[in-house]
């Protein structure tokens, strides 16, 4: 597999589509855990790319939900509302070595 390609649920994905694919998958299943399978061939920057784009996807989902439901950005919400969105879109990441 090329260095700028990633496999998400057995589908090959270009790095430019990584965030959008992660968002779609999370929206399809809100009880998600992002699981990274790291092999001996995985380069550090590839791992960081997946981690960064996953965090961006979750952050965007939090903001989109916040703006739709509360008409304000996620960071601007009061703590109790902020916490409810964190529960809806948590950052759950698990990595394993193959």
pLDDT tens digits, one per residue of 7-55: 888 888 888 888 999 999 999 998 888 888 888 888 888 889 889 999 9
Q: What is the DSSP letter of 92?
A: -
Which two structure tokens, joined as six digits, stand for 73? 């950005």
CB neighbours of residue 78 within 10 Å = 9
Please give the model's pTM, rounded to 2 decimal places: 0.85
Confidence category of residue 60, pLDDT binned at 50, 70, 90: very high
């Amino acid at each position: 597999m090329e260095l700028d390609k990633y496999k998400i649920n057995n589908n090959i994905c270009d790095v430019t589509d990584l965030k959008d694919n992660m968002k779609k998958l999370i929206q399809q299943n809100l009880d998600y855990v992002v699981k990274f399978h790291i092999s001996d061939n995985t380069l550090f920057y590839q791992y960081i790319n997946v981690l960064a784009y996953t965090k961006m996807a979750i952050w965007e989902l939090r903001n989109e939900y916040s703006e739709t439901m509360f008409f304000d950005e996620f960071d601007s919400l009061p703590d109790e509302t902020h916490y409810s969105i964190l529960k809806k879109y948590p950052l759950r990441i698990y990595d394993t070595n193959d």
